[in-house]
Amino acid sequence: SSDLALSPDVREAFALRSRGRFRFAEIGAITGVSADTARLRVRQALDALAPRTAPASSEPPSSRAP
């Protein structure tokens, strides 16, 4: 079971940006919101997905090579 639950609006904006390569203004026009709202929705998706896509490491950040 997944604890990641993106709202349909956030998922749609993310899909349009990542798969369709649309600009935020275009995403806004497609989804009926402003470019700023489209940008916010994509950011919300990225923030929700970030913990799942970060590389796993057993070392503390300070001991990793630069």
Nearest Cα residue to 23 out of 46, 42, 6, 49: 42
Rounded CA separation 11/27 (Å): 12
Per-residue pLDDT band at 1 (split at 50, 70, 90): very low
User: pLDDT tens digits for 6-46?
Assistant: 999 999 999 999 999 999 999 999 999 999 999 999 999 99
Whole-angstrom distance, CA of residue 49 vs CA of residue 55: 12
Which spans in the chain are helix H? 8-18, 24-31, 35-53
pLDDT digits (tens, 9 = 90+) for 45-64: 999 998 777 676 655 556 55
* Model-wide pTM > 0.95: no
